[in-house]
Amino acid sequence: MSERLVSTIACSRRTRGRSKVSPLEFKHITLDDIDAISRFLIHSKSRTCDYTVGGIYMWVHYFSYRYCICRDTLFIEGVSEEDMSRPAFSMPLGALPLDEAVALLRGYCEDNGMPLRFSAIPEDRLEEFRSIGEWETEALADWSDYLYDAGEIASLSGKKYSKKRNHVNRFMLDNPEAKLHMLGEDDVERVLDAFYRWDNAEEMKELTAMEERDMTVNVLEHIGRLPGFEGAYLDDGRGNIVAFTVGETIGDTLYVHIEKMDHDVSGAGTAVFHLFVKSMLERHPGLRYCNREEDVGDEGLRQAKLSYHPAAILQKYDLIRKS
């Protein structure tokens, strides 16, 4: 698949009758920019998926992301997760104190005749923003992340996980030779062949699902160039791939960006999640958490994520600067 550039934000950005003074110059994000962007992501301490390579690269087209690095700080411009007609910025990450970074963005917005809005700001960073100004806050109810204890998912021990253990046991009973394999670049074609064969017509009715499908293919085709990315696939022991997953490790958190399965194979989804987290804990002993991202307002997806008993649900907010 060829690399896609970000589409421009629908809102026009015209200078309102005066010379530009902002040093910020945003540009489209391509695969070649990911290494430059990724070095700033460790500065996010909130464990939300928006500040990961996958959270940016996989949704670069959908949210119209552009980026700028200025004074050793990463700025990302896109649109609000709640209202895609409104330009918005991610939380700046890097060397600049927040008040100085926000001042740069304020100047940029004044140059371009647009209000200063941040989107997907983690709840644990709100006080820092409030300490430097007054903001209107809007909760993003459909975009909260589900954070799990990685050790619990790897073991599935205890009464609360009895149903999940049963799903895994059923899968292993039906497929006694099944095995999880770490994903190499030589495996990608076979994994994609399986992905294309699975009947997911229902999922493709939603725009977000279609976008995710395209970016799933893109990520698999370029996984070797995405820092921190590792994947795995589940073979049923008879040569059939029945599920696959791709995650990204930053600090003590595994972000599961992709998880796909053959829905006709009972227990495949539960098994691949459990076995992947278990394998990643063995490969990265410092892991403490697993983030399975948002439910985007899908009630079925919400119940599925809740059924794994999250350790926390990470709330996010839009912030709009008061005049």
Residue 60 is predicted with a pLDDT of 94
Domain assignment present for 9? no
Residues 165, 280, single domain; the answer is yes
Residue 173 is predicted with a pLDDT of 98
Domain assignment present for 231? yes
- Phi, psi angle pair for 75, to nearest 5°: -115, 135
Alpha helices (H) in 33-97, listed in sequence order = 34-38, 53-57
| Beta carbons of 66 and 6 less than 8 angstroms apart | yes
Domain assignment present for 301? no
Residues 83, 110, single domain; the answer is yes
Residue entry with tokens 């599925």: 304
Residues 149, 131, single domain; the answer is no
Residues 185, 244, single domain; the answer is yes
Residues 192, 265, single domain; the answer is yes
Burial class of residue 65, CB neighbours in 10 A (0-12, 13-18, 19+): buried
Residue 286 is predicted with a pLDDT of 96
Residues 135, 202, single domain; the answer is no
In the structure, what pLDDT confidence band is assigned to residue 210 with cuts at 50, 70 and 90? confident
Residue 205 is predicted with a pLDDT of 59
Separation between Cα atoms, residue 155 and residue 142, nearest integer Å: 29
Domain assignment present for 307? no
**Poorest-confidence range of 89-98, 118-127, 209-218, 249-258?**
209-218
In the structure, what pLDDT confidence band is assigned to residue 35 with cuts at 50, 70 and 90? very high
Residues 279, 152, single domain; the answer is yes
> Can you give the residue range of the structural domain that contains 250?
145-293
Residues 131, 161, single domain; the answer is no
* Position 42 pLDDT exceeds 70: yes
The CATH number of residue 123's host domain is 3.40.630.30
pLDDT mean over 279-303: 96
Domain assignment present for 12? no
Residue 21 is predicted with a pLDDT of 78
- Phi, psi angle pair for 55, to nearest 5°: -65, -30
* Position 4 pLDDT exceeds 80: no
Alpha helices (H) in 53-203, listed in sequence order = 53-57, 98-111, 126-130, 150-155, 162-174, 188-197
Residues 233, 179, single domain; the answer is yes
Domain assignment present for 76? yes
Domain assignment present for 1? no
Residues 249, 176, single domain; the answer is yes
Residues 185, 259, single domain; the answer is yes
pLDDT of 249-283, one tens digit each?
999 999 999 999 999 999 999 999 999 999 999 99
pLDDT of 68-85, one tens digit each?
999 999 999 999 988 899
Domain assignment present for 6? no
Q: How many domains does the chain have?
A: 2
Residue 19 is predicted with a pLDDT of 53
**Poorest-confidence range of 16-20, 123-127, 187-191, 305-309?**
16-20
Residue % of the chain over a pLDDT of 90: 85
Separation between Cα atoms, residue 124 and residue 182, nearest integer Å: 34
Residues 128, 210, single domain; the answer is no
pLDDT of 90-117, one tens digit each?
999 999 999 999 999 999 999 999 999 9
When comparing pLDDT for 214 and 76, which is higher? 76
* Position 1 pLDDT exceeds 50: no
